[in-house]
Structure 1
């Protein structure tokens, strides 16, 4: 056995369990994070489809060969699914993302049974501790971007050439938590008849079978409905960079985010960003970001009341402040562009997937 093969045989893998396929937040997080981690340590991946997958069979196979018995099992999933770690070999790590200030009690119990919990932001860590987890069991392992895909040099898509004027972009699910309706209504009153501006919405809601953006826009009685452009879901995540670079600014008046990947990606691409000054994105938002002021309020959204029992609290962005920031970015474009490029340097210098993998490696030990 060569020295290289001997070293490899004594470097046990990490067993990674999560949603590797798909275009949504957890999918992108899982795929990119473990790809970067695999460049540092061996990773044995067990992809899930919904809640099913061969993770148990994979675990059994790994444990039959002593050299392959995992040093750790990392499940990157909703907290409610963390019983998947029961009986796992090595260190049992629950890596999760959540937006509310309240976790259902049974979710906390499942997280408490892990050896340690990873969460992407210091804000999220504080929330977990407030929900009863021991401080020494909760650690921040951030998310990131792929700098080869998300940077200011990306060639923009030509698909938006038909839309004239200054383009604001919003990416994400159309829902109360994302503040999509608030954004549309505020954008409509922010600009006058002579302003050359449009709002590009790259959002849908796959959870709602009755989702109809045209019906929603009609119900809002907008002054300038022609300034709102809805584009269908982008199937390949790599195409998002081309979409960001085809726009002039990014805006996200969310009420809460566990991380806020589109905000991070837009910053990486050099767009000036307007975003709510709250929750997970405060981990990476620097002084380049136009921060929307907000009040913290009780959650009344039925989705969170049913899934989190107590609901918790989140931000209510100030629509008047959002209106001011939209006008500021539109009217002071050179300054906004400078801030956007400063934000890109900040993200690409500190928040790539390789940066995240190195933080994880320090937790795993070498």
Structure 2
């Protein structure tokens, strides 16, 4: 193998299906168009050729690719084969052979593995494929060269295509008619979710597998749909909301107008290596419903998309259209979840439009073709430099993703119990499962109260329980109570640990200062507690808690409550001294009487577990038994995350006059559900309960000593809320309800915008990627 002459850039000989309307062809054309501006390049058309597609190409593109086919090929060139891997064949004359491909299941076929290993390196669009290729036995370097989107071409505001039969609200799906694309799930969900008299329709731009040009595609597909409805669902086309089939090939220049003709996009695919129609729809500002598995999670998340839960992975049967999927596994999208999301988008169009706008913003900022081509150019430059130095290319010392890019995260702590701590663990783990470059293993240590069969999210978490990965780059994150200072066997170590009492226990300071790589705390208030107790400031980082905006939102249905009172204050938490329940009961009893149209709803926690014997149950019963006292409704039943939003919405204002909190999750949840909040000033909630939309109770610092805790650096302390000020705030909110509702709208917007779990996960990943670049703290001399 020859070396590259100094100063020369070898021509790239790019073999690709540039005249094919498929995803392979689309991404090849865009990568080539961008790369050729910076690197000498020759194109060799490969794969399928569609005359109809070529006629629809722009004149400029036809000219460009015609010219690139005639580009001179020097003696020294690099080869890129941009095709399914079964077509890889190394060019013996090339200095270096690159295979660009993608796959959709949990592995690749053995012939693909053999073909990949004959190349010098492989390019795939996502870390999802890095993992599946390596796990299948690909030994050559595998690099991520992502796809992108032309967000000036795919954009909102274009004139829609005219779709005969379109109704007031239109869902769109674009796919090849294969089992992998989930057309059967889509038809089932559609038939159940909507009735024929609703003002909604489903537009399918679809075509049979390997079909290039139109013919009588519409009649063929419509016949398949009719037979499926009758045979599998016992329905005729008249029994379901309209399904409109577009079989005629839509020219590439008209595709943005197709998206403009819809109000939402849906595709319950069982597996995607990338998912180009998802990104095209997102770039056009449509709310997108897609599957929570596969390569599409590189750019789709719960903030910018509606993700269909999966019921696990299922084996691919022998009836599939593509034989080499047989024996593989792919996602089993939840039919119930898909139906729920279809209704969600249709019933809440304003929310859906906001999510579509967020999708557009994310795509524009993060996923353009210049960025994608930049990764390709970077690799070409690295390959060329290596060839100039040694003549053999970087083969064998290239990109080993599981060692240099992917990070193993071991998350230890409760998952399946009713508590804020377990909820935080669940939400962050669910988000990490979606992120590129992370392999997650969950180590729960709690008695199970939540069962997988009751919740699709729990099923997904359980799949990661005690998962063995064994990567060299490992971060062990521990979030449990009480804290466990036994170091993990390997890797970096993070402890998530809030604290409520102004000073840390003395015995925490040394291990947190010497053994733990980082301590994550949920608020600046707790950060100050750690630093003032002697923990080095550089070891302590604020990573807040979050809220799921899809669940905790102002438009959820209110939970029925056993009261006739029209105005309801709400307290959520353990009825213990630290949370200020005594201050609240005294203030409430002083301000209101039984004749007032007001009730206090108390949702207690932990009376059978961590707060056993500490609650204010007897005091509450005493007030309830007073015929002149204001009404109190006491709730002690466990409520899951689907019921809690209904409780918030059943009430009018959350009151939390705490003495000590590390964060106060119920306050953020209430805000996200559109409730005004009354909280103690000067503590953890100052981070997110800003004066412009929260009612804050004046408080003074109060020294605290207890035999149970040996505080570091002096006495601990709490905040003592001013009971008289709380009385005034209770009366003010009760009498100024319109003002309180306006404040609550601002609070909800702030919670959704700044404290979603996806945003918190961004901070988690930022800390993780910083940590793995540092020495392991406990292995260093002290």
* CA separation of 1:307 and 1:210: change in aligned 2, threshold 3 A: farther
Query: 1:81 and 2:87 equivalent?
Result: yes
SS of match in other structure, 2:207: coil
Question: In 1, distance between residues paired with 2:200 and 2:336?
Answer: 18
Deviation of the 1:305 alpha carbon:
7.0
SS of match in other structure, 1:173: strand
SS of match in other structure, 1:204: strand
Paired residue for 2:74? 63
Paired residue for 1:54? none
Render the CA deviation track for 1:76-102: whole Å, top value 9, x for unaligned. 11101111x231423211110111223
Determine which of 30, 35, 38 is the counterpart of 1:37: 35
For 1:81-160, list aligned pairs within 5 A.
Answer: 81-83=87-89, 85-134=90-139, 137-157=141-161, 159-160=162-163
* Kept in 1: contact 2:175–2:206 (CA 8 A): yes
For 1:285-304, list aligned pairs within 5 A.
Answer: 285-286=300-301, 287-294=303-310, 295-303=312-320
* CA separation of 1:204 and 1:82: change in aligned 2, threshold 3 A: same
* Kept in 1: contact 2:179–2:320 (CA 8 A): no
SS of match in other structure, 1:214: helix
* Kept in 2: contact 1:293–1:321 (CA 8 A): yes
Render the CA deviation track for 1:148-180: whole Å, top value 9, x for unaligned. 3111133322x1264122100000111210011
Question: In 2, distance between residues paired with 1:299 and 1:162?
Answer: 36
* CA separation of 1:63 and 1:236: change in aligned 2, threshold 3 A: same
SS of match in other structure, 1:266: helix
Deviation of the 1:16 alpha carbon:
0.7
Query: 1:361 and 2:377 equivalent?
Result: yes
Question: In 2, distance between residues paired with 1:352 and 1:154?
Answer: 20
* Kept in 2: contact 1:305–1:311 (CA 8 A): no
SS of match in other structure, 1:365: helix
Paired residue for 1:202? 205
Paired residue for 1:14? 12
* CA separation of 1:342 and 1:94: change in aligned 2, threshold 3 A: same
Root-mean-square deviation (CA, aligned residues, Å) is 2.4
Aligned length: 343
* Kept in 2: contact 1:183–1:253 (CA 8 A): yes
SS of match in other structure, 2:105: coil
Deviation of the 1:227 alpha carbon:
1.0
Paired residue for 1:6? none
Deviation of the 1:142 alpha carbon:
0.9
Determine which of 242, 246, 255 is the counterpart of 2:270: 255
* Kept in 2: contact 1:102–1:311 (CA 8 A): no
* Kept in 1: contact 2:313–2:330 (CA 8 A): yes
Question: In 1, distance between residues paired with 2:381 and 2:102?
Answer: 23
* Kept in 2: contact 1:23–1:236 (CA 8 A): no
* CA separation of 1:319 and 1:82: change in aligned 2, threshold 3 A: same
Question: In 2, distance between residues paired with 1:258 and 1:301?
Answer: 21
Question: In 1, distance between residues paired with 2:239 and 2:370?
Answer: 43
* CA separation of 1:201 and 1:322: change in aligned 2, threshold 3 A: same
Question: In 2, distance between residues paired with 1:61 and 1:10?
Answer: 15
Render the CA deviation track for 1:188-225: whole Å, top value 9, x for unaligned. 21023542110000001144799722222222124634
Question: In 1, distance between residues paired with 2:15 and 2:102?
Answer: 15
* CA separation of 1:331 and 1:182: change in aligned 2, threshold 3 A: same
* Kept in 1: contact 2:173–2:203 (CA 8 A): yes
Deviation of the 1:280 alpha carbon:
1.1
Paired residue for 1:4? none
Determine which of 256, 262, 284 is the counterpart of 1:269: 284
Query: 1:282 and 2:297 equivalent?
Result: yes
Question: In 1, distance between residues paired with 2:116 and 2:28?
Answer: 18
Question: In 2, distance between residues paired with 1:170 and 1:39?
Answer: 34
Structure number with bigger Rg: 2
* CA separation of 1:291 and 1:88: change in aligned 2, threshold 3 A: farther
* Kept in 2: contact 1:293–1:318 (CA 8 A): yes
SS of match in other structure, 2:353: helix
* CA separation of 1:233 and 1:33: change in aligned 2, threshold 3 A: farther
Question: In 2, distance between residues paired with 1:301 and 1:109?
Answer: 23
* Kept in 2: contact 1:100–1:311 (CA 8 A): no
Question: In 2, distance between residues paired with 1:301 and 1:171?
Answer: 25
* CA separation of 1:45 and 1:193: change in aligned 2, threshold 3 A: closer
Greater relative CO (CA pairs within 8 A, separation 6+): 1
SS of match in other structure, 1:177: helix
Question: In 1, distance between residues paired with 2:46 and 2:117?
Answer: 22
* Kept in 1: contact 2:160–2:258 (CA 8 A): yes
Render the CA deviation track for 1:245-299: whole Å, top value 9, x for unaligned. 1100000100011111101100111000000011110111132110001121111
Question: In 2, distance between residues paired with 1:206 and 1:187?
Answer: 22
* Kept in 2: contact 1:257–1:280 (CA 8 A): yes
SS of match in other structure, 1:172: strand
Unpaired segments ≥5 residues, structure 2: 1-6, 50-68, 230-234, 383-782
* Kept in 1: contact 2:178–2:321 (CA 8 A): no
Question: In 1, distance between residues paired with 2:366 and 2:93?
Answer: 32
Query: 1:314 and 2:306 equivalent?
Result: no
Question: In 2, distance between residues paired with 1:43 and 1:315?
Answer: 38
Deviation of the 1:231 alpha carbon:
1.2
* Kept in 1: contact 2:273–2:295 (CA 8 A): yes
Query: 1:215 and 2:212 equivalent?
Result: no
TM-score w.r.t. the length of structure 2 is 0.42
Deviation of the 1:235 alpha carbon:
3.6
Render the CA deviation track for 1:100-136: whole Å, top value 9, x for unaligned. 22322222111012111011111111000100123x7
* Kept in 2: contact 1:304–1:311 (CA 8 A): no
SS of match in other structure, 2:262: coil
SS of match in other structure, 1:63: coil
